[in-house]
């Protein structure tokens, strides 16, 4: 995985050390889940506790991306395709882990 700079709220909650008291959010790509969403710097979460993902982590990512896809499906074709691409990538990683 590449360096984790930008992190969304849900990924920060799962992978960060603590929740930020102050953070400046902007829309960008979350370096963990890959969604285009409100993100802030990983250091706002006290850094990211692990960058190697377990099966449970990938299942979390899959459910997050699927939820986002459900909320935009049929509204924005480009973002729908983008999310479908993310899901394929996550599923490929899960199948490598033997699921």
Residues that bind Zn ion (CB under 5 A): 8, 11, 30, 32-33
- Provide the minimum distance between the beta carbon of 13 and Zn ion in the complex, in angstroms, as a whole number: 10
Task: Give 32 or 69: the residue with its C-beta nearer to Zn ion.
Answer: 32
- Provide the minimum distance between the beta carbon of 5 and Zn ion in the complex, in angstroms, as a whole number: 12
Task: Give 50 or 98: the residue with its C-beta nearer to Zn ion.
Answer: 50
Kindly tell me the sign of the dihedral angle through the C-alpha atoms of 21, 23, 28, 30.
negative
Is the CB of residue 5 less than 8 Å from the CB of residue 33? no
Give how far the C-alpha of residue 4 lies from the chain's centroid of Cα atoms, to the nearest Å. Answer: 11
């Amino acid at each position: 995985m590449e360096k984790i700079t930008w992190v969304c709220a849900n990924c920060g909650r799962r992978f960060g050390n603590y929740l930020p008291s102050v953070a400046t959010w902007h829309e960008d790509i979350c370096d963990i889940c890959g969604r285009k969403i409100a993100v802030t710097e990983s250091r706002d979460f006290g850094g990211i506790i692990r960058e190697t993902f377990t099966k449970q982590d990938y299942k979390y990512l899959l459910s997050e991306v699927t939820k986002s896809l459900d909320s935009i499906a049929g509204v924005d074709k480009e973002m729908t395709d983008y999310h479908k691409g993310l899901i394929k990538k996550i599923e490929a990683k899960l199948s490598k882990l033997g699921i």
